[in-house]
Amino acid sequence: MSMVDSEAPLCLPRLPLTRLPAYPLPQGTIDTHFHVFRSEAPLNTPRSYTPDIATIADWITFADRLGIGRGILVQPSVYGLDNQVLIEALTAFPDRLRGIVVIDPETVAEEIAHLDRLGVRGVRINTRNKGGLPLAAAEKLAAAIRDFGWSLQLQISPDQISDLAGRLPQLGVRFVIDHLGFLPLAEGAWREHVPALQRLADSPGGYIKLTAPYRLTRERGYMGFAEVVQALAASHPQKLLWGSDWPHTELWSDMPDDADLIDRMQDAVSAPILARKIFIENAETLFFSR
């Protein structure tokens, strides 16, 4: 194994779906954050992890079992600027999927228009993984995608949230913060970060993904997650999105159970009207409105 490979360990495989959630997902649920991988596709070097293979066919099986109607496929950092696996999936399921790509900030309008026709609806900035686009690309990317109505999807660290609350709304595009901005849940630390997330959501174009609580704490009970969800739902119910984060990449221990994750999310969002916004309507507005 090369040094690069040793620095990109193989992820744990996802757990099989052995039970359904306690309550069915709302009919028409949209999964706004998942990844797929194909064994023959070349991986980026350097990268932060080596994925366990999970194909679009695997996600379709997973989604059908749970009653997930549509999905937003997000380009993982391990493929860098090569969006071929994502494009193949969009082509195979054009009515069911939309995509978030990673592209060079210098990409010309003709190529963006081509991706748009295939179902792409955004570009991902990722400051946490090797192979991701940096925040420095935000202005140029925003200018390139503005006329297409795309959004910027941002995987950031919690210490970047406050600065971005002043910066992102000036870009003139919609933007989505992945995984609650990775705010820490332990010992109530989330309380200092929620106001900045709320300022981001104050922007007409600002959205937040209520995803991957296992990335925010090592506690299996995800203490604090429900409180964060409820605080944001009370202030910005129209700006919240749900995603499975399937197949849960970059984990080497404590692989979560998907039914358990959905149970915890539904427990935090108990009102049916609110659940429809978070699981369906907000994502429909952002990704499927044209």
The rounded mean pLDDT for the chain is 95
Contact criterion met (CB below 8 Å) for 150 and 116: yes
Contact criterion met (CB below 8 Å) for 232 and 18: no
The structure tokens listed for 23 are 């309550």
In this predicted structure, what is the pLDDT of residue 5?
A: 57
Determine the residue type at 61: T
In this predicted structure, what is the pLDDT of residue 124?
A: 98
Q: Which residues sit opposite 209 in a β-bridge?
A: 241
pTM to 2 decimal places: 0.96
DSSP letters of 200-217?
HHHSTTEEEEE--GGGT-
The model's confidence at residue 218, banded by pLDDT at 50, 70 and 90, is: confident
7 burial level (CB within 10 Å; 0-12, 13-18, 19+): middle
Tens of pLDDT along 64-118? 999 999 999 999 999 999 999 999 999 999 999 999 999 999 999 999 999 999 9
In this predicted structure, what is the pLDDT of residue 208?
A: 98
The structure tokens listed for 20 are 């359904």
* Long-range contacts, 221-226 (Cβ 8 Å, 24+): 222/185, 222/264, 223/185, 223/186, 224/185, 224/186, 224/188, 224/190, 225/185, 225/264, 225/268, 226/264, 226/267, 226/268
